[in-house]
Structure 1
Amino acid sequence: MNIKQILPLGFGVILLIVSINSLITLNSTSTLKESSEWVAHTYQVQSMLRGLEKSLVDAETGQRGFIITGQDEFLDPYNHTEQNLDDDFDQLSDKISDNPEQLERLTKVEELANNKLTELQQTINLKKAGQDDMVLDIMLSAQGKQIMDEIRIQIAEMIAVESDLLSQRQERTQLDYQLVNLGAWIGLITVFLVGILVLFLINRLAIQPINTVANTIAISAHEIATAIEQQERTASGQAASVNTTTTTMDELEASSRQSASQADAASEKAQLALQAAENGNNTVSQTLEGMNQLTQRVKEIADQITRLSEQTSQIGNISLIVSDLASQTNMLALNAAVEAVRAGEQGRGFSIVASEIQKLADKSKKSTEEINTLVDEIQNSIRSTVIAAEEGKKTVNWSMSMTQNTTQAFVGITNTINTVVMYNQQISLNVQQEVLAIQQVVEAMESINQGAKETALGIRQTRIGTENLKQVAEQLKTIV
């Protein structure tokens, strides 16, 4: 059985049971109401009987008060009873019309009551007429007392009968109440049990599967929403990456164009470098030739310095001889001065000449010393110059070697530049091809970017639908 069968059947059974129970309850309630009305009726009859008895007693009491005092105001209870007695009996007759025995007793009570009122009226009239003796005789005859005693007996019997009826009707009412209560409990328990059974079947056959489906839908919707959210982030990230890549490709295209331009410029510069390398090679060749000439010049300078050193040595020797001659001249001048002193006045002129010669010898010696000093300095300079010339010769030889190496290097540079020129031309061609390829990639990336945006939009719409599905599942769970 499915929920389409369970719900109508279950609620139909419950409705049927409730209807039957309601009918039984209505019937029992009607019976209970009728019994309650009879109980109330019995109480009313008893109350009216007691009221009737009280009215007669009040009339008798008023009659006695009037007889004793002679005041008319004591006749009010009597007058009231006389006026209402017929109505009271009529009402009682209506109330007990269903009970012939009680009607018979009531008729008897009515006759007695009329007799009692006649007796009371007689005594009142006699009292008003001033015939107190006759009043006293009537009262002493106890006729009125006998009538009242009989009335009390009849009313007591009627009340006893009504009490019996009251007991029976109360028992009937109690029984009806118990039946109504029992029917209500049976109906309630039956409805409760059938309701539990229906709820159990509905829960087992409908609510649990619906709850399971709702949970599954909620979980699936949550998982789908999570996956879609992840895909949306991924798609957004891809779109951003594609935008970045497109921007990068645009920059790469511009860079490639610039690289192509730079490659062309580099090729031109390489041509200029090749020409400069050839010019440098020629210059190095000329430098090498100049270095050869410089080597020859340095060699000649070294030879000249060697000869100068020899001549300086000769000057030194001559200076030594002159110095020796100056020493000897000085000795001779000294000896001449001594001899002039010995000769006295005759040798005075010779002494002056000797003094001048001595001075000249001193100057010659001093000049010779200066020449020796100068010769020493010149020889030292020549030795330094010789050393420098030797170093210069070595340097020139090293420079020639370096110049030869430079020549070879320029030859290698020339070959390399030729290769670079060829490579630059190839690079320029490759860069131009790369520019075309990058343009195609940029177009493809723009297409991918548009597709990624559309995909992200579709995923966003799908996520909204999934969230709606999740809300529906939550509402279904709440309803279930």
Structure 2
Amino acid sequence: MRITAQLKYSIIGLAVLTAGVTIFENTRTQEGEFDGSMVNKAGIVRGASQRLVKLEIHGQPSDELITKIDTHIDGLLNGSEELKLHKQKDKTFVAAMEKVDANWEVLKADVLEYRRDPSQKTQLIKDSETFFEDTNKAVQAAENITVAHIKEVGNTQLAFFIFDIVVLGFIFWLVLRTAKLLQTSIASVANSSSDIAATVEAQEQAVTEQTSSVTQTTSTIEDLGAASLQAAQKADTSADGAREALTLSETGSQAVENTVQEIEELQSKVGAIADQIMQLSEQTDQISIISNLVADVADQTNMLALNAAVEAARAGEQGKGFAVVAGEIRKLADQSRDSASKIGTLVEAIQSSINSTVMVTDEGTKTAKAGIETAKDTANVFNQIAEAINEVYNNSQQIAQTAKRQAVGVQQAVSAMNTINLGAKETVSAVSKVQDSTETLQTIAKELQVAI
């Protein structure tokens, strides 16, 4: 059974028990009123009888007082709503009242006889004393009934109080158990957040290496541009040495320019790669920010767990304070899941950027190949120039050496691109770890929600 269900049923049981106690005590209070009325009315019978005798002796007969005593004795024996008297079942009290009733008939007869013959005063006083003793016993019996009822109420209240203590103890145990469960789950969330932070750090290192590779690629392309310019200058010098080879020289110059354009296009492609890598770096920074948000949520959850423990210790109003804290914890768990969703979105964006990087790299490779082909065409043209113009042979040699340096520069560019690809793979691996950690966070959040 879930903890929340156990708490709910315990509180419902306590509420039902409290309602029962209230109803019981109200009933007992009414019975106590009737008990008090019984003692009071028995005392009235006792006092009124003595007053009646005194009035009769002093020549002040009172039929109204006789009627009152008759009414009270009948109510004490048979019950009376007007006098708020129940018909009693206690044998001792009933026996005492039956004796009172019988002696009252004797005393009434004495009163009537005294009115006719005042010489019966002695008998009247004697019978009134006997009646007084009987009413005393009836009052004592009524008081005993009242005391017994009071003791019964006290014992019942004590039993209810003990049961309340047991139920409250069970609720307190459930609260402590829930707090312990929350602490364990929150510790797991904190550990998962640490794993995410470590993974993001690894991604930052990979992006740094990618940035370094891009810088190296840019430097290599600059060297290629300088070498191409030098080749063009040497070609111009060769053209000045031989007019009859002017057409071939112009063709060679055009081929060199084509080579330069192809290399410039390669530089543009690599620049696009650099832009993609910068975008990837920015997205990785966002991942770091969201990871910090997850860590903050974990800290807040720890604080809420502490508050929950304090509220549970107080156990005021059946743990209502704890219910508020638990609601806050559920909100923080929802924020953790939202952060995890954002991390997943950023991971997809990073993967998209990596795909774009691969495509741009392929285009750069194709462009490099085209540059090589153009360089070959240039070499053929300059071979024709060498055959036509011997005096520019040395300059042609220098042009060939420059072309070799260009090939080396292109190879360096390809190597740098390979480094970029390796860094991209490392980034993908790190993103996979982020996904695993995110799934762990989601699982823990669900466990926390179920526990609450």
Tell me if both proteins adopt one fold, taking TM over 0.5 as the criterion. no
Q: TM-score, length-normalised on structure 1?
A: 0.42
Q: Considering only CA atoms, is the larger Rg found in Structure 1 or Structure 2?
A: 1
How does the TM-score come out when normalised to structure 2? 0.44
